[in-house]
Amino acid sequence: MKNPSSKTLRERLKGRNLYLIGMMGSGKSTTGRPLSQAINYGFVDLDKVIEQVCDKSIQKIFEDEGENNFRSIENQILNEIGQRHSLIVSTGGGVITRSENWGILHQGIVIWLNTDKNIILARLKEDLGKRPLLEGKDTHKVLDQLYKDRVHIYAEADLEIVVSEESPEEIAQIIINKLPSILKDEEEQGAQQTTSM
């Protein structure tokens, strides 16, 4: 999937991390891998790192320590990841609910995968046991409420990608195609600031 523009894009990113945000099941991890390969970045799945560090599943952390403690662990690990560069970071669906996480996220570029709810529901049916916020609940209702609570926060992303039936590789390519417009805006702002000094 590498194309001539990916090297130029990598140079223009100047090592900034790309953070993928969105609802659980929106395709952040599956999109992150081909995206990282396409622009020759590293790939990190935040939830997987949390599980490795804590030596237990996300579900078990929720059970043993509650959501609040989980969010504190998530913040600490995100902060450590944020010290590194040239990474595609797939985040958990709720990472955006803590305002202090945005200080880390906005050091990079934040990309919201706004995925069709029916697609999310179909994906979540396969791994309901691994989703503590859904366990024993009406998945439709919980998802609707989570989306309603979070949509205005997700909207703070630098780039929104509306996802329907595309493959992860296709979504990665859409991101690659759209990133230059964000970088162009930033570069123009930087040039304006330089000339006004």
pLDDT score at 127: 62
3-state secondary structure the chain: CCCHHHHHHHHHHCCCCEEEECCCCCCHHHHHHHHHHHHCCEEEEHHHHHHHHHCCCHHHHHHHHHHHHHHHHHHHHHHHHHCCCCEEEECCCCHHHCHHHHHHHCCCEEEEEEECHHHHHHHHHHCHHHCCCCCCCCHHHHHHHHHHHHHHHHCCCCEEEEECCCCHHHHHHHHHHHHHHHHHHHHHHHHHHHHHC
pLDDT at 155: 95
Cα 114 to Cα 22: distance, rounded to the nearest angstrom: 6
What per-residue confidence (pLDDT) applies to 2? 47
Number of residues written out for the chain: 197
Q: Chain centroid to CA 15: how far?
A: 17
| Amino acid making up residue 125 | K
pLDDT number for residue 4: 42
Instruction: Kindly list the strands in the beta sheet with 42-45, ordered across the sheet, starting from the edge strand earlier in the chain.
Output: 42-45, 87-90, 18-21, 109-115, 159-163
Which residues, in sequence order, are bridge partners of residue 109? 18
- Whether the CB-CB separation of 35 and 18 falls below 8 Å is answered with yes
Look at residue 133 in the predicted model and tell me its pLDDT: 59
Domains in the chain: ranges and CATH: 4-196 (3.40.50.300)
Count the Cβ atoms, other than its own, within 10 Å of residue 72.
14
Residue 154 is predicted with a pLDDT of: 95
The one-digit pLDDT tens for each residue of the chain (197 residues) are 445 467 788 899 999 999 999 998 899 999 999 999 999 999 999 999 999 999 999 989 988 999 899 999 999 999 999 999 999 999 999 999 999 999 999 999 999 999 988 888 888 776 655 666 566 567 778 888 888 999 999 999 999 999 998 999 999 999 999 999 888 877 676 666 655 55
Whole-model pTM: value is 0.89
42-45/109-115 β-pairing: unpaired
